[in-house]
Amino acid sequence: MDKTNSIIAALFLISLVWISAFFMIYSEHREHELMHVLTLYATLFLAFLSFRAFYNYRLSRLLFSGFAFIVLGISETVELFDDFEHHDDPFSINEIRDYIIIAAIALFSVGTVFRVKK
C-alpha cells in the first residue's frame, strides 16, 4: 500500500471511530443509529473506491457503482434523520425496511470488492 492509500485509510478509520463514539455516547437508540452511521460510512467509502477504480481502469460501469453507492448513502442519511425523529419497534415494517436496505448495500459492495485485472 502506497503512502496516499495509507493516509486515506487512516483518515477514514479515525473519522469512523470518532463518529461512532459520538453516536454511542449521545444517541438515545445507540445501536440502531450506529448501524445507520456505519452503513453510511461504508457506502461513502465504497463510492470513493469505485470512483478511484474508474480513474485507474477507465471502466464506465465503475461510475454506475460509484453513483449507486452515493444514492444508497443518501438513503441512509434520510433513514438516520428519520430515526432521530421517531424510533419504532425493532421488528416493525419501518425497521425491517432498514435492514433490507443495509443487506442490499452489503450485497452490492461484495460485487465491487473484487480486483479488476487489466
Q: Is residue 51 part of a domain?
A: yes
Instruction: Answer yes or no: is 33 within a domain.
Output: yes
Residue 111 — very low, low, confident or very high, per pLDDT cuts 50/70/90? low
In this structure, is residue 61 part of a structural domain? yes
Is 118 among the domain residues?
no
DSSP 114: S
Whether pLDDT at 98 is above 60: yes
Indicate whether 46 pLDDT > 80: yes
User: For residue 76, how many other CB atoms are within 10 A of its CB?
Assistant: 24
Residue-number span of the structural domain to which 103 is assigned? 3-113
What is the rounded average pLDDT of the residues 29-54? 83
> Which one is predicted more confidently, 74 or 20?
74
The C-alpha atoms of residue 35 and residue 18 are separated, in whole angstroms, by: 15
Q: Is the pLDDT of residue 52 over 80?
A: yes
pLDDT at residue 30 greater than cutoff 80: no
Say how many domains are in the chain. Answer: 1
Residue 115 has a pLDDT of 57
Quick: pLDDT tens for 85-95: 777 777 788 78
- pLDDT for residue 67: 92
Q: How confident is the model at residue 70 (pLDDT cuts 50, 70, 90)?
A: very high
Cα–Cα distance measured from residue 66 to residue 44, given in angstroms and rounded to the nearest whole number: 9
Confirm whether 98 is domain-assigned: yes
